[in-house]
Structure 1
Amino acid sequence: MNDPITARETTRPPQGNRVTIARDIGNNIRVLREAAGHSLADLAASAGLSKTTLHGIEQGEANPTLSTLWALAAALDVPLGGLLDGGASVVTVVRADRGPRVRGDAVRARLLHRVHVRGWVELYELDVDTAEQVSDPHRPGVEECLLVTEGRVETGPAADPRELAAGDSIRFDAARPHVYRGLDEHNRAVLLMVHH
């Protein structure tokens, strides 16, 4: 069995915007732990952590590493995003400098959106011209999740579109009329269509 993950790896105090993210992660872990009926000691043992380290993470006083979060997600039998996500509304915009971030030895990741799905997920690369396109509603249960990779794009529900720059992303219910319009000369994006 692997050595337990020590407090040294996870107890650097979060700073700035990371304080809120650390609190959200800690709260999510506590809620999931309690919902699963695990004690603090049980979850700590299952994840290879000390009880003190897990308590610090749940209190938002620690900065857990990616390996620590994976261990906790595995012990709780939830996806990693379940620990990172602070919840979502009908339309969620994540700006390029926002979103919970985790890092490992070689990978840095930023959670953009978390979508629970039973069905199909389609991935598209988009070039978005400056003409406005109003798309008819898709069938109920279809969501669109778009990440702008170049330029600026106006998109979202036709009644409430949002302007996004490179690095920004949006998630919305596509079972309503929605729009796409490029705002710069060259506009590119990645689109996930999620069919529940």
Structure 2
Amino acid sequence: MPIESEDPKQVVLQVGAVLKRLRKEKQLSLDDVAVLSGVSKLTLGNIERGETNPTIGMLWKISKSLAIPLMALFSAESGVNVSRAGKGLRIAGEEKTWVIEPIFHQASDEMEMCRAYLQPNSSYDPEKHHPRTTEIVTVMSGTVTIRVGQESHLLHQYDSIRFCADTTHSYINQSDEVVVLHILLKYGG
């Protein structure tokens, strides 16, 4: 199941409702979003009705096509909030080798944060992000190779990297331990 939480069905319904609202605000049909995102009209309709649990790849494609931050597809929180590792919303890649936990999953036009977990001996190739998006990654535990374009960067615990995320990039874990990352996405520069 790509989206995980204490009540995954509620989160799936919520994402669908938010997607439908945002699509209508932008005066786009399901056909329009399908063309822009590369996600089929049928799948988009199923997401809007809460009948399917979208993968992180689908959510990235949809958010990029609507020119919104990924977390805009989830509800905003207000007041004082605590984000606990391993609790709350979790979004998994198709193979479940990559899992992210949004930190304070409120939408911001400027930035969003998440914890990411890369399983042992696996890799993750995310969708290119929105134009002019900066990604800042800090390794919280483990060792990871982050490939940006044709360059590879080996990072150890507490090392950080910043790069333009609207280009091809990937995460590679060649160890036998889960790698934990803190990721900040800054939109528009």
TM-score of the aligned structures, taking structure 2 as reference length = 0.50
TM-score of the aligned structures, taking structure 1 as reference length = 0.48
